[in-house]
Amino acid sequence: MASTRGKRKGARGPMQLFDIELPEGISAVAFSPEGLRIAVATFGGPVVLVDARSGVLLRELPGHADGTLAVSFSPDGEQLATGGWDGRVRVHALDSWQELHAWEAGGAWVEHVQWSPSGGHLAAAAGRAVRIWSRRGALKGGYEQHASTVTSIQWSASGTGIISSCNGGLHRLEAGRKRPLETLDAEGAVLAVAISPNRRYIAAGKQDASVRLWALRSSKVDSYDMPGYRTKVRTLAWNSASNLLATGDAEQVVVWELGSRVRDQQRPHPLRAHSERVTGLAFLEDGAGSELLLSTGQDGQFCGWNPTRGRRPLWALHADVALEGLTLSPDRSMVAAIGAGGRLLAWRFASSVRH
């Protein structure tokens, strides 16, 4: 594995931990719950476990025939779930590296796997199907008749239900049921979904160059459209207070500020972000409670922003490779970014700049 160092511009950017090159292109990454390891899914098939502080290769698993597409640690850090082109979900014990389960996921390649917050269930999306299993391996339901390929899955506040997205909207699924509990309609294809930390809002980035926002009230669901984007919206992120929504629109980042009355107080703040498509967004808080917005782009830039002031980044790190997305460690002290051609980069923030 080759290693290089990126360049930092500005006074408050994070320090780079490593920049390594794997033999295969990277499809997905996930931090372990304690933040000490990164699981890396590769298009060639193997799943690589990397030390999150040094980039040293710790272990390699066979992965999936024709390529691994998704990876997820259980919340207790004891098991690793993967999904791939072979249409299977595999679960390994991390103490013995023994394969515990190998499940068929619905007849198509598995693009998403995700453990529930308690670790009691695992969900996977393959083609138009979502399936939910118990940790012991029993199939606990799902929904296999989505209108199109499932584009995302996220566990709901209950910890036993999934929010899935596809062409036409979202479905709320529950373990033990074979039909959706609720459907949130949206015209056209939904590409990305973000649930606010306070669980009051769901935002969806859409193929038709818009964002749809659902406000979840006690007795009803209100929906609002945020049109006017130049391209399809594929990247979304909420801040911890659930009043700022960051969205990626081609080379631009647009931050929406939400007030108590969502319909009347959607104020957009455009940021002059990148020279190529924005691929990743995330929020941090510093020690004084100020917001910091992070972004990555295919132009190789990793930037930090004041999300509601100014239009230029506070700092920018420049890699010599296109960045395809970012992932925060559980304690939000580290960031891992996927680089084109098998590159994996990681940075650490000072203790005063984290959630």
Residue 108: what pLDDT?
87
CB atoms within 10 A of CB 318: 13
Residue 13: what pLDDT?
83
| CA atoms of 223 and 215, how far apart (whole Å) | 6
Q: 275-278: list long-range contacts, CB under 8 Å, 24+ apart.
A: 275/251, 275/299, 275/301, 276/251, 276/322, 277/248, 277/250, 277/251, 278/235, 278/248, 278/249, 278/250, 278/251, 278/252, 278/253
| CA atoms of 268 and 257, how far apart (whole Å) | 6
Location of structure tokens 């990305």: 192
Radius of gyration of the chain (CA): 19
pLDDT tens-digit profile, the chain (355 residues) = 444 344 444 446 899 999 999 999 999 999 999 999 999 999 998 999 999 999 999 999 988 988 999 999 999 999 999 999 999 999 999 999 899 999 999 878 999 999 999 999 999 999 999 999 999 999 998 999 999 999 999 998 667 789 999 999 999 998 888 889 899 999 899 999 999 998 889 999 999 999 999 988 766 778 889 888 999 999 999 999 999 999 998 999 999 988 765 555 567 889 987 999 999 999 998 655 678 999 999 999 999 999 988 788 999 999 999 999 999 999 999 999 999 999 999 999 987 555 4
Residue 100: what pLDDT?
95
**Residue among 280, 191, 185, 272 nearest 223 (CA):** 185
Residue 262: what pLDDT?
57
Say which DSSP state 41 is in. Answer: E
Contacts of 96 (CB under 8 A, 6+ apart): none
| CA atoms of 233 and 77, how far apart (whole Å) | 33
Residue 9: what pLDDT?
45
> H-helix or E-strand containing 271?
strand 267-271
- pTM value is 0.92
Helix locations, 96-241, DSSP H: none
Residue 125: what pLDDT?
97
